[in-house]
Amino acid sequence: MMNCDDDALLKFDIPEIIYGRGALSGLGHCAERVGGEKIFLVTDPGIIAAGWVDQALKHLKQEGLHCVVYDNVVSNPRDFQIEQGAQHYAKTGCDVIVAVGGGSPIDTAKGIAVMATNYGSIKEYVGCNLVSHPIPPLVCVPTTAGTGADVSQFAVVLDSQKKMKQCILSRAIMADISIIDPIVLQTKPRELIAATGMDTLTHAIEAYVSSLSWPMTDPHAVHAIELVNEHLIMAVENKHLPALEGMAVACLEAGIAFSNAILGAVHALAHPLGGLYDLHHGLVNSVMLPVVVRQNLSHAEDKFARMARALGVETRGMHPSEAAAHVPERIEALINALGLPKRLSELGVSREDIPAMAQMAQEDLCMLTNPCIYATSDIEAMYHEVW
C-alpha cells in the first residue's frame, strides 16, 4: 500500500478563491494574472449549451486573450481521452488552462496539465505525489457545486483497460485560482444538484473522520455538513440563489477539507462502480454512504456525534454513541427527501461483479485514510447490503 503521509507532517494547501455573484466576469483578469496569452479552455457540450462557455470566452477576450475551446470531455474521463486532449493542447501553443464545468472537465483539464509538463502516460501518475514537474497555470470555474475538484489536489482518471477509476493525488495538480460564481449554478438540473450535493456531503463526512484529519481541516468539514443540512433540499426544490450559494460554499468547504485530509471507504467503494458501469459519482457515493457510515461509526464515535449536531439532531444529554447513531438515519432521510436511488440493483449493477469490485475498492487510494481497515469480505458484505 502507498503511504500518503510521507513525512508525518500535516499540510494545508488550497488555491486562491474568488467567490460571488458575477465572479465569472473576473475570469479574463485571473487568466491574464497567471500569465495567459493563449487560453486552452476545457469544458463539455452541456456547459456550452447552457451558455457559460460563451460568457467565459467573452470575459477572456475582453482582456485580449486568445482562446481555444476543447470540449471532448465525457463523464468519468478515460486515460486515452486525457492523452488526446494533451496532444491537442501541445499543438495549440496555449500557455494557460481554464476549466469550465463539473468534475469531469476539471479532472480532464488537470490530466492535460500533467501531460503538458510531465512525460509518459497519464497512468504513470496514479498514486501520491508522483507529479514532479509544475503544471501550466490552471484556473477553474466550477459549475456543479459538488466535486470540489476546483480546490483539491485530486484528479480521478478511468483506466480504460482495467475499467478502474484511479486517483492522482499531488500538490502539483492544484489549480492556481478557483472562481466560484453561484449564478452559474442556476442552470444546473435538479437531479444533478441532488447528486452532487450528496457528493459534497460524502466529501465532508469522509474528510472529517479521515485518519489524516487535523484541527485545520475539521472546521471546514463540519461547516460543509451544516450547510448541506441547511440548503440542499431547498436548492433542489426551488433553485433559489441563497440555497445555491449555501451549496456553493458547502462544496468549497468540503473540497478544502478532503483535499487536505483525504477521503475514505465510501469513495473507495464508489470508484469501482463508476469504473465498471460509468455511473455518476455523486449517485454512487449517495448509495454507499449510509452503509459505510454505519460500519465506521464505532471507529470515530465522537466525530460522528458532532456530525449529528451539524445535521440538526438535538444531541444534548445523549451519549456519543447514541448521537452518532443518528447520522446514518439523517443521511437516509435526506436521500429519501431528494428521491435518489438507494440500491445498486436500481442502477443496473450486477451482483456477480461484487467480488471484483471489492478487490478494486480494497486497493483504492482512498481506503488508506478510512478510520478503520476492512477485510475484502467486509467490503463484499457492504456491497451486498445495498445491492
Judged by CB, which is closer to its own copies: 91, or 316?
316
Q: Is 26 in the site for its own copies (CB under 8 A)?
A: yes
Question: Which cell is 211 given?
Answer: 485518519
Rounded-to-integer distance, Cα 6 and Cα 22, Å: 40
Q: Which residues contact 264 (CB under 8 A, 6 or more apart)?
A: 206, 209, 210, 292, 296, 366, 367, 369, 370, 371
Q: Name which of residues 170 to 189 contact its own copies (CB under 8 A).
A: 171
Options 4, 130, 216, 347; binder of its own copies; rule CB under 8 A: 216
Q: Considering the complex, what minimum distance in angstroms separates the CB of residue 292 from its own copies? A: 26
Q: Is 317 in the site for its own copies (CB under 8 A)?
A: no
Q: Which residues contact 334 (CB under 8 A, 6 or more apart)?
A: 198, 201, 229, 232, 233
Options 1, 3, 8, 120; binder of its own copies; rule CB under 8 A: 8
Q: Is 6 in the site for its own copies (CB under 8 A)?
A: no
Options 93, 219, 242, 312; binder of its own copies; rule CB under 8 A: 219
Q: Is 19 in the site for its own copies (CB under 8 A)?
A: yes
Q: Is 318 in the site for its own copies (CB under 8 A)?
A: no
Q: Which of 94, 104, 166, 73 is nearest to 137 (CA)?
A: 94
Which one of the spans 70-78, 221-229, 366-374, 378-386 is the region binding its own copies (CB under 8 A)? 221-229
- CA 334 distance to own-chain centroid: 19
β-partners of residue 99 are 42, 140
Which one of the spans 77-85, 98-106, 215-223, 351-359 is the region binding its own copies (CB under 8 A)? 215-223
Residue 101, amino acid: G
The dihedrals phi and psi of 173, each to the nearest 5 degrees, come to: -100, 15
Q: Virtual CA dihedral for 312, 314, 318, 322, nearest 10 degrees? A: -40
Q: Considering the complex, what minimum distance in angstroms separates the CB of residue 174 from its own copies? A: 9
Q: Is 54 in the site for its own copies (CB under 8 A)?
A: no
> Exposed e or buried b for every residue in 138-177, given b needs 16+ CB within 10 A?
bbbbbbbbbbbbbbbbbbbbbbeeebbbbbbbbebbbbbb
Judged by CB, which is closer to its own copies: 286, or 315?
315
Q: Is 323 in the site for its own copies (CB under 8 A)?
A: no
Q: Is 253 in the site for its own copies (CB under 8 A)?
A: yes
* Alpha-carbon distances, residue 165 vs 2, 364, 381 (angstroms): 17, 9, 21
Q: Considering the complex, what minimum distance in angstroms separates the CB of residue 215 from its own copies? A: 5
Q: Which residue ranges make up the site for its own copies (CB under 8 A)?
A: 7-14, 16-20, 22-23, 26, 171, 214-216, 219-220, 222-223, 227, 249, 252-253
